[in-house]
A and B are shown apart, each in its own frame.
Chain A
Amino acid sequence: MVCIRISDMGFSYDDKLFTLKDIDLNFCEAEVTTVLGPNGAGKTTLLKCLARILKPQKGTIYIDGRDLWKMSLYEAAKIIGYSEVEIPRGFNVKVLDFLSTSRYPHMRTFLESLEDIKAVKESLREVGAEKFSLRKIEQLSSGELQRIIIAKILAKKPKILLLDEPTLHLDIKYQIDILKKIREITKKHKLITIMTIHDLRLASMFSDKIILLKNGKIVSIGSPPEVLTPKNIEETYGIRVKVIKDTEAGVIVVPLP
């Protein structure tokens, strides 16, 4: 059981221009939320605030009623999984070594226990990456690396998944596979999943809730059909679209010439 409440949050990189402002949000367990919006809208900044990487100047983030910034780094690390990684070059790092690092918050022993290894294996299976688990991390293709980055979050078994463009560099099969998997895990383990995606189609297919963000402010929030209306999209992205509601495929947004 986990819930997040953000009240009146504001964040600025330079103390002048607010990248995020007046953010009031609630996230419930077993729900996938997607943050949509044009480049520079503040999507990644929002995720980083939730990941306890950026500290908001204004407002508070509560996780299960507790102030995120009053938790210790270590406590937050056990609950929250976020996707940012820089790949080191020349260190002879194997995929399994990288994934084992994400078990550190749970690892009481000096070396990894059988339980840690099991969690790593499970995460690899979930993203279908077992066959390149012994490869060097710098030799992976960008699609393979993307799956490993998601596996890294899953291996930690957090309660909150924060995914910045999880479908980046993936082909259509893996886009669908990964998002399906994320949705399934969210429901099964009652997690909170918050992600950013650029593809409105995929967002509508796999999200329970969509947040439309423009210039750091929330334009609209609700279920995909509620949020993805021609009016909202024109207001946020500045393009004219036609929205088709299909009984099987859900909401389809088609840009108009």
Chain B
Amino acid sequence: MDYAEKYFQEKKRKFFLVLAFLSVLLTFTFIFSLNIGSSNVGLLEILTLMSTSSKTSSTLINIVYNLRLPRTLAAMFIGVLLAISGVLIQSVTRNSLAEPFLLGLSSGALTFMALAIIIVPSIALSLHYVSVISFIGALIAFTLTLTLSEAIGGSATSLILAGLAVTAGFSGLSSFLAFIVQSKLNMPFLILLLGSLSQILRGHVVMLALVSIAGFTLALIMAKRLNAIIYGDEHALQLGYNPKTVRIFASMLAALLTSVSVAIAGIIGFIGLIVPHMSRLIIGSDNRYVVPLSALLGALVLCVSDIFVRIASEGLAIGEIPVGAVTSVLGAPFFAYLLLTKVKA
């Protein structure tokens, strides 16, 4: 076999190997996650519960099915949403440092959500309405970032700086509004500023599942187009794709995925930055492989972060630690490292 055939073959082989490995890892993480919590429900009991539905106590069913299972699944699906959103935004902006939180989409989504709840409090009861409003917020924030970035030169660095400005503005606004929501309407809202999976309900999981499956499928269908636009508009045009259409569609999808995750769990940053980079490190730049790998890795990283949150929260006995804090602690040094290599190059 020749070098080129070998390259493409090897890549396919490696992809399936990594896919299998990550699937196994994710399954173990999933079972482990069901095992973690303040009540004394062990692994053995959960396994019996999963294999036989009868002869189990109702509290056990309650804890696992109504608390741990939804939370675990939500962590995985939100991981998928944020990771795919990261892949989309990085391709659209042709900037490997881009990410939904760093470009202001998450804060924009939360600001609009809080504002809508203050104006019409009953809206908080409908996940659909809240998601639509946070989607509008995310789109507005993204448009602002892109416009500002263009105005200050349109370089890779100006995008990050523009994102910083927009994030700062919206995170200030959303903090202010979240404070009002929490004190006036007595809703636990402040925790969303830092991202949390402590308020997941079973109903959320269905919506998260549908949106992540749809988002994943669309991103995979768009994979070739995403590959094409990172080499510039003219290259995409020559391959028969309209770069404007690709960019608008991918941006809307990224905003949708981000806003659904924000509507349910608040701001969880850096997953969209770390995960696509890990995938590209493993398999290279091709989005036909990067999209599925990022989905799996996103699920894994957020689930592990949440396990850490639950163990640490219980161990330190200080109440629930926000999962967004954990991903930021993980993500910030990673971001700094990327900045370093970027500045060097």
Whether B238 lies near A82 (C-beta < 8 A) is yes
Instruction: List the B side residues contacting A92 at CB < 8 Å.
Output: 280-281, 284-285
Whether B234 lies near A53 (C-beta < 8 A) is yes
Residue-wise interface mask of A (66-98) relative to B, using a CB-CB cutoff of 8 A (1 in contact, 0 not): 000000111111101110111111111110111
Whether B280 lies near A101 (C-beta < 8 A) is no
Whether A91 lies near B238 (C-beta < 8 A) is no
A161 to chain B, nearest CB (A): 12
Q: B96 an interface residue at 8 Å Cβ cutoff?
A: yes
- Given the interface pairs A90-B338, A138-B345, the reply to whether A53 lies near B237 with Cβ below 8 Å is yes
Whether A78 lies near B240 (C-beta < 8 A) is yes
Max chain B C-beta neighbours (<10 A), residue from A75, A89, A91, A93: A91
Whether A89 lies near B342 (C-beta < 8 A) is yes
Q: Tell me how many residue pairs across A and B have CB atoms closer than 8 Å.
A: 115
Whether B240 lies near A104 (C-beta < 8 A) is yes
Q: B249 an interface residue at 8 Å Cβ cutoff?
A: no
Contacts A51-B238, A90-B97 aside, 8 further interface pairs with beta carbons under 8 A come to A85-B234, A88-B94, A88-B285, A92-B285, A102-B238, A104-B224, A104-B227, A117-B8
Instruction: List the A side residues contacting B148 at CB < 8 Å.
Output: none
Residue-wise interface mask of B (1-41) relative to A, using a CB-CB cutoff of 8 A (1 in contact, 0 not): 01111011000100000000000000000000000000000
Instruction: List the B side residues contacting A96 at CB < 8 Å.
Output: 4, 7-8
Q: B235 an interface residue at 8 Å Cβ cutoff?
A: yes
- What is the interface of chain A, defined by CB distance below 8 A to chain B? 48, 51-53, 72-78, 80-82, 84-94, 96-98, 100-102, 104-105, 107, 110-112, 114, 117, 120-121, 124, 130, 133-134, 138, 156
Q: B288 an interface residue at 8 Å Cβ cutoff?
A: yes
Q: Whole-angstrom distance between the alpha carbons of A104 and B284 in the complex? A: 18
Q: Whole-angstrom distance between the alpha carbons of A73 and B239 in the complex? A: 8
- Given the interface pairs A81-B238, A92-B284, A133-B3, the reply to whether A101 lies near B231 with Cβ below 8 Å is yes
Max chain A C-beta neighbours (<10 A), residue from B8, B238, B240: B238
Whether B284 lies near A117 (C-beta < 8 A) is no
Instruction: List the A side residues contacting B179 at CB < 8 Å.
Output: none
Q: Whole-angstrom distance between the alpha carbons of A56 and B29 in the complex? A: 58
Q: B232 an interface residue at 8 Å Cβ cutoff?
A: yes
Instruction: List the A side residues contacting B2 at CB < 8 Å.
Output: 121
Chain B contact residues, majority secondary structure: helix
Q: Whole-angstrom distance between the alpha carbons of A85 and B235 in the complex? A: 6
Q: Whole-angstrom distance between the alpha carbons of A81 and B234 in the complex? A: 11
Q: Whole-angstrom distance between the alpha carbons of A34 and B8 in the complex? A: 37
A152 to chain B, nearest CB (A): 8
Whether A94 lies near B234 (C-beta < 8 A) is no
A178 to chain B, nearest CB (A): 20
Which 3 A-B residue pairs are closest in the complex by CB-CB distance?
Answer: A90-B96, A86-B232, A77-B240
Q: Whole-angstrom distance between the alpha carbons of A110 and B224 in the complex? A: 8
Task: Name A101's contact: one of B5, B228, B341 (CB within 8 Å).
Answer: B228
- What is the interface of chain B, defined by CB distance below 8 A to chain A? 2-5, 7-8, 12, 90, 94-97, 156, 224, 227-228, 230-232, 234-235, 237-242, 280-281, 284-286, 288, 338, 341-342, 345
Q: Whole-angstrom distance between the alpha carbons of A194 and B288 in the complex? A: 34
B291 to chain A, nearest CB (A): 12
Q: Whole-angstrom distance between the alpha carbons of A74 and B237 in the complex? A: 9
Instruction: List the B side residues contacting A88 at CB < 8 Å.
Output: 94, 96, 230-231, 285
B80 to chain A, nearest CB (A): 20
B40 to chain A, nearest CB (A): 46
Least CB separation from A75: chain B residue:
B240
Q: Whole-angstrom distance between the alpha carbons of A124 and B5 in the complex? A: 13
B102 to chain A, nearest CB (A): 14
Q: Whole-angstrom distance between the alpha carbons of A112 and B227 in the complex? A: 13
Q: Whole-angstrom distance between the alpha carbons of A177 and B5 in the complex? A: 26
Task: Name B286's contact: one of A89, A97, A102, A121 (CB within 8 Å).
Answer: A97
Residue contacts A-B, CB under 8 angstroms, 8 given: A51-B234, A53-B237, A80-B238, A84-B234, A93-B285, A101-B224, A101-B239, A102-B239
Task: Name B94's contact: one of A86, A117, A121 (CB within 8 Å).
Answer: A86
Whether A84 lies near B5 (C-beta < 8 A) is no
- Given the interface pairs A117-B8, A121-B2, A130-B3, the reply to whether A101 lies near B227 with Cβ below 8 Å is yes
Instruction: List the A side residues contacting B156 at CB < 8 Å.
Output: 89
Q: Whole-angstrom distance between the alpha carbons of A96 and B286 in the complex? A: 10
Q: Whole-angstrom distance between the alpha carbons of A121 and B2 in the complex? A: 9
B171 to chain A, nearest CB (A): 25
Least CB separation from A90: chain B residue:
B96
Instruction: List the B side residues contacting A138 at CB < 8 Å.
Output: 345
Instruction: List the B side residues contacting A133 at CB < 8 Å.
Output: 3-4, 7
Q: Whole-angstrom distance between the alpha carbons of A32 and B240 in the complex? A: 25
Q: Whole-angstrom distance between the alpha carbons of A82 and B90 in the complex? A: 25
Task: Name B230's contact: one of A51, A91, A107, A114 (CB within 8 Å).
Answer: A91
Whether A77 lies near B239 (C-beta < 8 A) is yes
Whether B96 lies near A89 (C-beta < 8 A) is yes
Instruction: List the B side residues contacting A73 at CB < 8 Å.
Output: 237, 240-242
Instruction: List the B side residues contacting A77 at CB < 8 Å.
Output: 237-240
B157 to chain A, nearest CB (A): 11
Whether B228 lies near A134 (C-beta < 8 A) is no
- Given the interface pairs A82-B234, A88-B231, A91-B280, the reply to whether A111 lies near B4 with Cβ below 8 Å is no
Least CB separation from B90: chain A residue:
A91
Least CB separation from A82: chain B residue:
B238
- Given the interface pairs A77-B240, A92-B281, the reply to whether A86 lies near B288 with Cβ below 8 Å is no
Max chain A C-beta neighbours (<10 A), residue from B4, B96, B227: B4
A165 to chain B, nearest CB (A): 15
Least CB separation from B338: chain A residue:
A90
